Structure 1
Amino acid sequence: MLTQLTSTRQQPPLSESENTTSFFVNHGSIPWATVTWIFIALGVFLRVFHFFDNRSLWIDEIYLASSLVKMDFMQLASPPLEYEQKAPIGFLWMVRLAVMVFGKGEMALRLFPLICGIASLFAFRSVARFFLKPVGVAVALGMLALAPPLVYHAVEVKQYGSAVLATTLALLLYTRYHGKFTMPHLLSWGIWGAILVWFSYAVIFILAGMAFGVCLTYLLKKNWKALFYSVIPFSMWLVSFAINFFMLTYKHAESEWLVHWFRIRESFMPFPPSSAEDFKWFFAQVFLILDYPLGLLWNFSTLHTGSKLLETLLRVPVIPVAFLATGLLVLFRNNKTTFMVLLFPVCLALLASGLELYPFYERLVVFLAPALILIIALGTQKIAALFPAHAGWQYIIPFLILLAPLHASARQVHNTELFGGRKHWHLRDALLYVHERAKEQDVVYISWNALPEYRYYKEVYGFKFKVIEGKDVRLTSKNASEYLRNLEPDFKAMASYNRAWLVLNKIMGANIGEIEAPNDVFGQEIKDGKRIVKKLSTMGKQVDAYKSTDMDVFLFDFPNN
C-alpha cells in the first residue's frame, strides 16, 4: 500500500507563490532534504533502540497482552477481552499473528506497533512534501521522529502507535486522490479509507473531518459534480465504519467507570462552556497537546541553560504556540480546504469529547499528531522566511522548535529509566528477581493488585514457584487495622513456610472496572506496603528486598518453622 500511495506526488495545495519556489534554493545552503533523511534515520534509531531495550510491560499493556497471548483470532473478534480492554480488530489480529510466529514475549507483542511507527516516518515524508517546502518537511519529520510520546507509542502494546500510521495514511490518501474523479481513483480512495477504520478507532475523526472539509469546499463553490463524485469514497468510509461499529465497536461501549475515570481528569470538553473556568479548559488543552503527544515543551526540572531569558522562553510555550498560530493563519489565508481538512478532525474530537463520547486526553489524541505537526511546520517555515537570507535566525528557527524533543529523546537513550515517564514500570523485573532467587521450598505471596502481571509473566516465563494469591479485602475493611486483621489468614499461610516472598504493587489502588475512590483506606494507608511489611516483620525477619517506583519485593525468614 505504501509503495502505491507514495509513488505519485501532486502539486502542493497552497498558493503557487507559496510552494513553487524552494526555500532551500532562495534562502540558504542547508540541504533540507538531507536533514529530513537524518531525522527519519534518528526516528528509526530511537524506535528500534527502545524496542531492543525491551523494558517491562506496564499495567495497561499487561491488561491487553493477557488476551493477546491466550485468545485466537475469533475470540479476539468476539468481545469482551480480558480486563475490559478495547482495541481495533485489525490491530489485535496483527499483534496476535506476531505472537503466533515469535512467541508471547514483550518484543513479539511490540513488533506490529514498531512496524507502524517506522512506516509512519516514511509515509509522513510524502505527506509533508505535498503540503510544505523543504524546510517545513525537515521540521515536520523532526517533530514526528523525535517527540518522546510518539517514540513511546511506537513500542507499546497498545493501538495508539498504529493510530498515528492510520492518520498518516489517511492524509496520504488525500494527497493521492483528492481532486481526481475517475472511477478507479474514487474506488481506490474509498477502499483504502474503509480499511483504515478497522485498524484505528480514532481515524474516523480524520476521515470525517476530511470529508466535511472537501464537501464544504465544493458546496460553497457550487461544484455539484465534484461534490457528487466525492460522496462515493466518503460513503464507502461511512459504510465500513457502520459495519465495524455494529459488528464490534458498540460491544465496547464506554462503561460508567471509564467515563468517570476520564471525567475526574477533565478529559471532556465543557459543553457548552458557561464559566471562566470552562474557557480555561481550552487554553489548557493547547498546552497539554503541545506536550503530549507533540513533546515540544521542556521538562522544567532538567532545563539549565545558564541563560534565564532563554530558560523562560523555553519553559513558556511561546515558540510552539506562535508557530501553531502562524500555521493556522497561513492555511486559512492561502487554502481553506487544507485548513478544514487538517483542523476539522480536531473540532470533531472536541465535539465528541463535549458529548462524553470520546475523551480528549493524552494518548487518545495521539492520532491528531500528524495533522498538528503539519500546521506547526508550516508556521515554522513561514516565520523563518521572514528573516533576511544572511541572518543566522533563518536557520536557528527551524531547529528551535526541535530542541525540546531532541533533548528529551537523547536523555531517554542515555537513561532508559526515563523512557515512558510514569508508564515505565518494573513488573517483569520484580517477578524475575523472585524467579531467579526463590528456592524450591519458598512461597511467594502476590498482592491482589499484582495478580494481572503475575499471570501474564507466568504465561511467558513459566514460573514454577509456589504462590499464595492475595485476597482483596478492601470492601470489608473500614480502616487500616481492620484491613490487616482481614489479611491475618494470608499472613499465617506465609509464616507456615521457612521463607516467604512478598510482591507488592504500589500504584494500583483499584481493579479494572472499578470507580476510583481517592479517599479509600487502601489507597491512603495500605497501598505503599509499609504497614504490611511492618506487620510481617513482627512475625519474621526481612532478609532481602527489591524496590522500584511501582513494585516492591521482600523476603522474610520465619525461623520458628
Structure 2
Amino acid sequence: MLTRLAPTLVAAGIALRLWQFFARSALWTDEATIANNIVDRSLKELITAPLGHNQAAPVGFLFIEKLAAMTLGPNELALRAYPLLSSILALVLLWRVAKRLLPAPSIPIVLAPFAFAPLLIFHAAEVKQYSSDVAISIALLLVALEASDVDAIEPLPTWRIALAAATGALAVWLSQPAVLVVAGLGVALAIGALGARGQRRARQRTELAFIVGVWAVSALAATIVSLHHLTPNAHRFMSTFWSDGFWPLSLRHPSSVAWPVAHTALLLGSQLGLPTSIGLACALLAAVGIVATWRSAWRTSLVLVMPLVIALGASAAALYPFAERLALFLVPSLLLLAAIGVAEIAASVRLKSGASVVMAMATIFVLVVEAQALYAAPPVYRREEITPAIAYLRRASRAPDASYIYYGAEPAYAFYNARDALPARATMGGCHRGDSNAYLAELDRFRGRSRVWLLFAHELPRLHEREMMLTHLDSLGTKRDSMTVKGRDASGNATYVRLYLYDLAASPPIDSTVARATPDSPSGMIEPRLQCSPPGE
C-alpha cells in the first residue's frame, strides 16, 4: 500500500498548486514590488541595472518573468506561471530522487510534507524565486548523484557530462542560492573523485574536474553580476532584516554550536507548517540519516550534506542568511536525510515485520501532521487581497476626490492602477515608522477636502499606525464610508485590506510650519530589522 501512495501524493500536490494558481489572488506587497520592476523596465534595464525598491532577484529569473509578461501580458497568471511550473517540477524531481535513494515504503515520508506544506503551495503561485530555488536545488542534487557514481564500470557518455556541466552553469543564473548548492556539490564530487578506485579513476577525475570547473566559472560570474545588481542601500537593508539568519559562531560562546540544530528545526517547522518540536525531530532524524548514508554510501552522504555545510558557512560569514524562505532550497535534502534516518531506525527493529510496522506508523504520522497543517491553513491563500478594495474605489470615487495610499499598499496599488487608472488623484504615503507626526503631517494636507479616500494594506499590527492615523482623522472630520477585505496567509493568519472615505471639509488647513504637540506613537522605538527600508536607487 505504501508503495502505491507516492503517485497519489504527487498528484495531490500538483492539484493543490493548480488550485492556488487559478484562484488568481491579488499580488501582495512583496510580489507587486518585484512585478513592478519586471513590467515597468525594459529587458535590458532589468538584467543590467540594479532593481528599484531595494529588490534582489537572479537575472535568469527576471529574464524568464519579463518574457512571460511580454508574451502573455502583465497579469498575475503570466507572472506566476514560471513559479508554478517550477513547483510542479520540484515535486516530480523530488519523487525521482527519493526513488533513487530510499526504499519504496520510505518515499511518502518525503513526498507528503513537500506536497501538502501550505507555504510551498503558496510559493507555487507567488511572483518570487523561491519555488525555482527549490526545483533547481533538486535538479542539481540529481545531477550530482549521477555524477558521483565514480565506481561505475562504464564511462559517463559525453552528452551526460555536457548536460551536468550545463545544468550547474545555468542554475546559478536562475537561482542565487544555487551558488551555494554548486559549491557544496563541487566539494562533494571532488572528494568523491579523490577516493575513486579502479581502472577508470584517471578519466573519472578528469570528467568531474571539467564539470566542477564549469560550475565554478559560471558561479563566479553570476555572483559578480548579482552583487552589481544589489545597491548598497539594498545590501544594508537586507543584511539588517535577515540578521537573525546569520550564525553567531564564536569560540567564546560554546552554546553557539547548537545554533545550526535549532535553526534547522525552525526552518523545517516554519516552511513545512509543522510545530517546532516536530521540526526538531526531523532535524535529529536527518542527523541519523547522515550517519547511515556515510556508512553505506559516503559519496551520497557528501552530496546530500555539503550544500548544507556551505550554507551554514555562508551564514556564519554573514554572506547568506540561513532562515525561512531564503533557506527553503535546503528542505528537500533535509527531508531525504530524515526519511533515510527513519528507514535506518526501522531496519534496526528485530521483531518480525517490525520494520514494516515502523515505516507504516511513520508514514501515518507524517500524513496526519501534514493534514492538520493543511486543515488549519487550507488554500486559497490571499495574503493581501487588494483588488476588491481597488475595484470599489474605482466605482465609488469621483474625479475631484483625493486618495491617500498607505506605504504598505503602494506597490500593489501602483501595479493595478497602471493597468486601469483610477479617477481619484492619489498621494503616496511615506514610511515613517517611529515618527507619528510625519504621518499626521501627510494627512493634514487633506484638510478642507470633502472626499478623501485612504487605502491600507501590509500593516505591521504592533505599530498601530492605521489606528493612530484614523484617530487623527476622526478628530478632523467624519468617516463617510469604509470597506474591509479579509484574507488569510499560508500560516492561517487573517490578513486585511482596508478602505475608508473621510469628509474633512470642516477642518481648515493649518500652517505646516506650526510645531506639533502630538507625542510619538508606541512605534517610537523600532527594532533595526523593522526600520523603514531606505529609498530605492
TM-score by shorter chain over 0.5? yes
Q: Could you say if the C-alpha distance between residues 190 and 283 of structure 1 is closer, same or farther in structure 2, counting changes exceeding 3 Å? A: closer
CA distance in 2, matches of 1:318, 1:473: 38
The one of 177, 199, 208 aligned to 1:230? 208
The one of 498, 518, 534 aligned to 1:552? 498
Aligned to 1:139: 109
The one of 184, 204, 216 aligned to 1:209? 184
Aligned to 1:257: 237
Q: Could you say if the C-alpha distance between residues 392 and 332 of structure 1 is closer, same or farther in structure 2, counting changes exceeding 3 Å? A: closer
Aligned to 1:59: 29
Q: Could you say if the C-alpha distance between residues 342 and 225 of structure 1 is closer, same or farther in structure 2, counting changes exceeding 3 Å? A: same
CA distance in 1, matches of 2:432, 2:275: 40
Partner SS, residue 213 of structure 1: helix
Aligned to 2:479: 542
**Cα deviations by residue, 1:490-524 (Å, 9 ceiling, x for unpaired):** 222xx32x322112346269xxxxxxxxxxxxx84
Report the residue type matching 1:377 in the other structure.
A
Larger mean CA deviation between 56-65 and 527-536 belongs to 527-536
Aligned to 1:399: 364
**In the TM superposition, what is the alpha-carbon distance from 1:60 to its structure 2 partner?**
1.3
CA distance in 2, matches of 1:373, 1:68: 34
The question of whether the paired residues in 1 share the 8 Å contact of 2:193 and 2:208 is answered with no
Aligned to 1:77: 47
The one of 171, 192, 195 aligned to 2:170? 195
Say whether residues 1:490 and 2:436 are aligned partners.
no
The question of whether the paired residues in 2 share the 8 Å contact of 1:296 and 1:401 is answered with no
Say whether residues 1:110 and 2:71 are aligned partners.
no
Q: Could you say if the C-alpha distance between residues 208 and 559 of structure 1 is closer, same or farther in structure 2, counting changes exceeding 3 Å? A: closer
**In the TM superposition, what is the alpha-carbon distance from 1:160 to its structure 2 partner?**
0.9
CA distance in 1, matches of 2:431, 2:336: 51
Larger mean CA deviation between 99-108 and 356-365 belongs to 99-108
Report the residue type matching 1:531 in the other structure.
M
Say whether residues 1:285 and 2:263 are aligned partners.
yes
CA distance in 2, matches of 1:187, 1:73: 29
Partner SS, residue 552 of structure 1: strand
**Cα deviations by residue, 1:393-451 (Å, 9 ceiling, x for unpaired):** 441212313332232224433x63xx48xxx2233343333223324443322234432
CA distance in 1, matches of 2:472, 2:275: 45
The 5-angstrom pairing of residues 14-25 of structure 1 reads none
**In the TM superposition, what is the alpha-carbon distance from 1:470 to its structure 2 partner?**
4.1
**In the TM superposition, what is the alpha-carbon distance from 1:479 to its structure 2 partner?**
5.8
Partner SS, residue 255 of structure 1: helix
Q: Could you say if the C-alpha distance between residues 445 and 241 of structure 1 is closer, same or farther in structure 2, counting changes exceeding 3 Å? A: same
Q: Identity rate of aligned residues, in percent?
A: 25
Say whether residues 1:472 and 2:430 are aligned partners.
yes
The question of whether the paired residues in 2 share the 8 Å contact of 1:506 and 1:552 is answered with no
The question of whether the paired residues in 1 share the 8 Å contact of 2:2 and 2:108 is answered with no
The question of whether the paired residues in 2 share the 8 Å contact of 1:73 and 1:96 is answered with yes
The question of whether the paired residues in 2 share the 8 Å contact of 1:117 and 1:154 is answered with yes
The question of whether the paired residues in 1 share the 8 Å contact of 2:289 and 2:341 is answered with yes
Larger mean CA deviation between 173-182 and 137-146 belongs to 173-182
**TM-score, structure 2 normalization:** 0.83
The question of whether the paired residues in 1 share the 8 Å contact of 2:384 and 2:458 is answered with no
Aligned to 1:459: 418
CA distance in 2, matches of 1:377, 1:328: 11
The question of whether the paired residues in 1 share the 8 Å contact of 2:476 and 2:504 is answered with yes
The question of whether the paired residues in 1 share the 8 Å contact of 2:265 and 2:280 is answered with no
Report the residue type matching 1:501 in the other structure.
W
**In the TM superposition, what is the alpha-carbon distance from 1:227 to its structure 2 partner?**
2.4
Q: Could you say if the C-alpha distance between residues 246 and 318 of structure 1 is closer, same or farther in structure 2, counting changes exceeding 3 Å? A: closer
CA distance in 1, matches of 2:364, 2:340: 14
Q: Could you say if the C-alpha distance between residues 473 and 141 of structure 1 is closer, same or farther in structure 2, counting changes exceeding 3 Å? A: closer
Partner SS, residue 156 of structure 1: coil
CA distance in 1, matches of 2:374, 2:208: 42
CA distance in 2, matches of 1:342, 1:356: 23
CA distance in 2, matches of 1:250, 1:474: 29
The one of 345, 353, 371 aligned to 1:389? 353
**In the TM superposition, what is the alpha-carbon distance from 1:316 to its structure 2 partner?**
5.3
The question of whether the paired residues in 2 share the 8 Å contact of 1:102 and 1:108 is answered with yes
Aligned to 1:174: 144
The question of whether the paired residues in 2 share the 8 Å contact of 1:78 and 1:248 is answered with no
Report the residue type matching 1:346 in the other structure.
L
Q: Could you say if the C-alpha distance between residues 66 and 159 of structure 1 is closer, same or farther in structure 2, counting changes exceeding 3 Å? A: same
**In the TM superposition, what is the alpha-carbon distance from 1:224 to its structure 2 partner?**
4.8
Aligned to 1:184: 159
Aligned to 2:386: 427
Say whether residues 1:345 and 2:307 are aligned partners.
yes
Partner SS, residue 84 of structure 1: coil
Q: Could you say if the C-alpha distance between residues 459 and 324 of structure 1 is closer, same or farther in structure 2, counting changes exceeding 3 Å? A: same
Unmatched segments (≥5 aa) in structure 1: 1-29, 299-314, 510-522
